[in-house]
Amino acid sequence: MASVARPDTKTLFQIDPNWFAENGRDLREEVHALLCEECRVWYPVPADALLVDHIHPETGEVTRVDALWESLAEHCGHLPGYIAPSTPLTTALFRALLANGNRPLTPEQLHKRVGKSNPSGILKVLMGAEIENGIVPVE
């Protein structure tokens, strides 16, 4: 993804799946590792999770999505402890974006979701010298 000129606390960020492949990491494995025990019964290994229908709650539009991401977005990501007070900020931001189905969020929205730092501090972390967990500004 191309860089955004002068990002601020209203700049949208999301996870770039290509970043994982380029850095020798498997995004599906990492998503699977965050599933709750209940969802792991359904998907014991990442390969067990294929595509499922997702119905947009407001428009009724049906799209096909990865079952692992759907589980995180609809269930696991809303459980107590998914983002705990002890969760490191970079991990909390990653988890918040996963729980949001990787729909872009601003540092302001991320701050509300993770309850850590402040929007400016989150922006500073996201724009650090190294990309953390593939989180990049949206073009």
pLDDT along the chain (139 residues), means of 10: 73 95 93 93 84 81 86 92 94 95 94 94 92 91
Structural domain span for residue 111: 13-137
Nearest to 107 by CA among 96, 122, 90: 122
Distance, CA of 6 to CA of 1 (rounded, Å)? 15
DSSP lists the bridge partners of residue 14 as 136
Domain-located, residue 2: no
Nearest to 31 by CA among 50, 53, 46: 46
Q: pTM here?
A: 0.87
Domain-located, residue 125: yes
Nearest to 10 by CA among 90, 96, 126: 126
Number of domains comprising the chain:
1
Domain-located, residue 46: yes
